[in-house]
Amino acid sequence: MTTPIICFGQQPCGFFPKRFLFAKFETARRLQKEIGGEIVFFLHDSDHDPRETRTILRRRSNDEPIQLNFSFENKNQRKFSPLYKKRIPAGWKDNTARQLPNYVEASMVDVFKKIEADNVADFCLEMYRGMGLLDGVKTVRSSDPEFRRAACDISEFFVDVTHESETVRARYDSDSLTLHEGGDAFVQLPMVPFTKEQISPTRDSRLVWMQSVVKCTHYIPGAGEQQYLNRNETPEVEFIVRDSVERSDEAYVGVP
């Protein structure tokens, strides 16, 4: 009998994780108690969208929401670099730590202050670890060169290339590499040689690319993800509905 592999994926989604990610952890642990097996967290840290790490907290005194995010060293890095290459400027952590007591318990401030990471993806991952979310969970990262080498070939993908001294995530389209500036604006980059270690999937190719390495038996998709997944590509996988959670886009700030 195949040992269950219970998997869910997510971009780094705030230095305190969004509540929907916490719900995925909870769903996976509940399922593991029922069927056994291993939990795998697929961290898609190759994504480049800076909006993914917006962190919505609520003021402890009056429950008013506030939105915080990382700072970035320059505009190109903020707009185009993958999350594992977005560097955290000096001073961001100390400045944010001074604000946090207004929104979270002292124990969570202490976890935050202990994090030592120089890029957005590492900082989020270490924060989730410090909060106890990764206990007993295997983490695999889409930025890992070894993972990329082992993954299947895909026809729709991004390529990590250098542009204006920064690593950027450019969309591949037969004979061109493109950066999307927003709306109808694009930046065309010259085609350069690249290897599998530079490739990460698009939204539509991500599941089959991930599954070619993880080989999960059960997968917990996000609410939005369920709308575009092509389940016929992975008939071996049983899809599990994530536990519901209120205010799903807000940050989870529970005490470990």
For residue range 116-130, list pLDDT tens digits in order.
999 999 999 999 999
pTM of the model: 0.94
Residue 93 inside a domain? The answer is yes
For residue 106, give its domain range: 5-148+207-239
Look at residue 97 and tell me if it is in a domain.
yes
Domain presence at residue 135: yes
- Say how many domains are in the chain: 1
Dump pLDDT digits (tens) for 30-88. 999 999 999 999 999 999 999 999 999 999 999 999 999 999 999 999 999 999 999 99
Q: Is residue 37 part of a domain?
A: yes
DSSP 8-state assignment for residue 250 = S
229 found inside a domain: yes
State the Cα–Cα distance between residues 120 and 15, nearest whole angstrom.
8
Which pLDDT does position 227 carry in this prediction?
81
Cα distances (angstroms) measured from residue 6 to each of 80, 128, 164, 222, 227: 31, 18, 40, 14, 20
Tokens found for residue 168: 């950027």
Q: Does residue 153 sit within a domain?
A: no
pLDDT one-digit tens code per residue, 195-243: 999 999 999 999 999 999 999 999 999 888 878 888 889 999 999 999 9
Burial tier of 200 (Cβ tally within 10 Å: 0-12, 13-18, 19+)? buried
Assign residue 116 the CATH number of its domain: 3.40.50
Domain assignment of residue 245, yes or no: no
Would you say residue 176 lies in a domain? no
By C-alpha distance, which of 203, 191, 215 is closest to 46? 203
